[in-house]
């Protein structure tokens, strides 16, 4: 049986303890960070190791957004602009921004697929509010729900055309947070009407995507007592009102927005309705605590998984040089306007 957890690992290769733990716990998948990524041949070997100790189709995830959130960096991989640059271009020329996002996304997917990475935790569907914490900032595709939904849909298509599955995040919206959930619990006081006017629409527009990620945010209008990842009310809203029926994973359980030991974090996430829990830092003692509490993928989650895997198809051929030139030429319009 597949364990309903996604784990990180500690370094460039698996340790003997990691191999034994992953073989025994049979996690759903794995997530990679900069600490795991030195150069292409090393990374391909690590990806192969992860699948050898788990199963052939185990999803391998990464956060390769561009800008400040990029696990793969030069000199071995391309530098990518943050989503905020495409948001600026959209204000000048919406069609040019869509085209630039598509080719940029295809280039990212091309690099990931070549490494055996099958899931990229993009795009953010968060709509930043004035004065909110810059943890989202230039990672967002815009400051209106319409623009965010528009460009995020293009990014999702680019990923899937490139043989990589996207993850919409952070449901039901992190854009109003006045704190970084890596460090503390953000509390959102907005009314339900405000959330449904701005934060929720991008997620409704992309509710058909295969994966989604929760937000470690307390939404007073939805549940005044419990953080979103642990809230049956919030996850019920995600399922019933937003209509998302893909695999729903928690954000990283090791983030400081959450309280309690790791077993309770797992139990509360799963009881609330998450299909999967995400643990990123590679700490073996914490992963063992997660594994002891999480259990197997539910039958409903397995159906969602199989549906997601049907979307994972070989990439269409891409002329990388042409795609790169297209992105650069389109982005010059935004750069030129910025200098004007």
Which SS3 state, helix, strand or coil, does residue 150 take?
A: helix
- Six-digit token pair at 165? 């599955």
Q: In whole angstroms, what is the distance from residue 68 CA to residue 137 CA?
A: 11
Q: Are 282 and 245 in contact (CB under 8 A)?
A: no
> Position of tokens 């919030």?
234
* Tally: H helices and E strands in the chain: 12, 12
Catalytic residues, which ones? Answer: 182, 251
For residue 143, give the nearest of 193, 204, 219, 87 by alpha carbon. 87
Give the Cβ contact number of residue 11 at 10 Å: 12
C-alpha 319 chain-centroid distance: 26
Q: In whole angstroms, what is the distance from residue 197 CA to residue 207 CA?
A: 16
Largest pairwise CA distance in the chain:
60
For residue 323, give the nearest of 139, 144, 101 by alpha carbon. 101
- Six-digit token pair at 63? 């956060």
Residues 6+ apart with CB under 8 A from 18: 9, 10, 53, 284
Q: In whole angstroms, what is the distance from residue 49 CA to residue 53 CA?
A: 6
Q: Are 275 and 247 in contact (CB under 8 A)?
A: yes
Q: In whole angstroms, what is the distance from residue 322 CA to residue 104 CA?
A: 11
Q: What are phi and psi of 301, to 5 degrees?
A: -65, -35
């Amino acid at each position: 049986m597949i364990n309903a957890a996604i784990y990180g690992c500690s370094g460039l290769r698996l340790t003997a303890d990691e191999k034994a733990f992953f073989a025994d716990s049979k996690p759903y998948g794995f997530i990679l960070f900069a600490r795991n990524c030195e150069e292409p041949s090393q990374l391909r070997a690590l990806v192969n190791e992860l699948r050898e100790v788990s199963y052939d189709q185990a999803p391998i995830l990464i956060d390769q957004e561009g800008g400040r959130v990029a696990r793969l960096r030069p000199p071995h991989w391309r530098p990518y602009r943050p989503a905020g640059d495409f948001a600026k271009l959209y204000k000048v020329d919406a069609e040019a921004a869509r085209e630039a996002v598509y080719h940029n996304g295809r280039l990212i997917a091309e690099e990931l697929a070549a490494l055996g990475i099958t899931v990229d935790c993009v795009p953010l569907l968060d709509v930043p509010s004035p004065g909110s914490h810059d943890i989202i900032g230039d990672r967002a595709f815009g400051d209106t729900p319409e623009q965010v939904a528009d460009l995020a849909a293009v990014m999702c298509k680019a990923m899937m055309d490139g043989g990589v599955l996207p993850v919409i995040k952070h449901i039901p919206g992190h854009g109003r947070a006045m704190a970084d959930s890596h460090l503390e619990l953000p509390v959102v006081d907005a009314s339900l009407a405000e959330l449904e006017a701005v934060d929720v629409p991008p997620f409704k527009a992309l509710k058909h995507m295969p994966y989604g990620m929760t937000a470690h945010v307390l939404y007073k209008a939805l549940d005044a007592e419990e953080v979103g990842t642990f809230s049956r009310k919030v996850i019920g809203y995600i399922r019933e009102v937003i209509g998302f029926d893909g695999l729903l994973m928690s954000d990283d359980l090791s983030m400081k927005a959450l309280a309690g030991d790791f077993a309770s974090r797992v139990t509360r996430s799963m009881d609330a309705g998450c299909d999967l829990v995400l643990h990123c830092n590679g700490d073996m003692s914490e992963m063992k605590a997660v594994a002891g509490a999480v259990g197997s993928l539910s039958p409903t989650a397995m159906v969602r998984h199989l549906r997601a895997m049907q979307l994972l198809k070989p990439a269409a051929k891409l002329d990388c040089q042409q795609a790169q030139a297209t992105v650069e030429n389109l982005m010059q319009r935004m750069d030129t306007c910025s200098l004007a």
